[in-house]
Amino acid sequence: MSNEFPGWHGTTIVGVRKGGKVVIAGDGQVSLGNTVIKGSARKVRRLSPGGYDVVAGFAGSTADAFSLLERLESKLEATPGQLQRACVELAKDWRTDKYLQKLEAMLLVTDGDQLYVITGAGDVLEPEHDCTAIGSGGNYALAAARAMMDSDRSAEQIARDSMAIAADICVFTNGNLTVESISK
């Protein structure tokens, strides 16, 4: 998977699991090269296949991410209540299907209990420290979130504060947030 496409520069998504809740927050900036195209995109979405709630955030090409979200939804319909299995099936398809191999995006997904990052390399990664992040400002948001995990802040406040720090550092990230929370 190439890191050269413009979609990598324009997103930060962070996921935080704390206090029985998982929060996914994403910024709203869409960039094409060094130009901001839009500042209010929604890159965090709630999916409800068959009444099973999942929150997903995406980084990378928007069209590619929507294709992956549709595939994830169909995997969840085929395996109701089994987020891990649906994620593994999506990752296997993504890695082996000639069409899907060309998709350049990443997903961060949760059902309020489990939290995963899904990549086109066939990875389904579960964070070790109850927080994870993707996108161009992901490392900044992740470092900030990890530093706050032992504080009295809630999952939502950690997500919001870590996104604010990423937006201050990464020129491809803004402070216009979409925040979704989910509990198991």
Task: Tell me the C-alpha distance between 61 and 63, whole Å.
Answer: 6
Residue ranges of the alpha helices (H) in 97-150?
138-148
**First and final CA of the chain: distance in angstroms?**
33
Distance of alpha carbon 42 from alpha carbon 177, whole angstroms: 8
Catalytic residue among 11, 12, 110, 173: 11
Q: Where are the alpha helices (DSSP H) in the chain?
A: 62-78, 83-96, 138-148, 155-169
Q: Using alpha carbons only, give the angle 8, 132, 121 rounded to the nearest 5 degrees.
A: 55
62 is catalytic: no
List, by residue number, the catalytic residues.
11
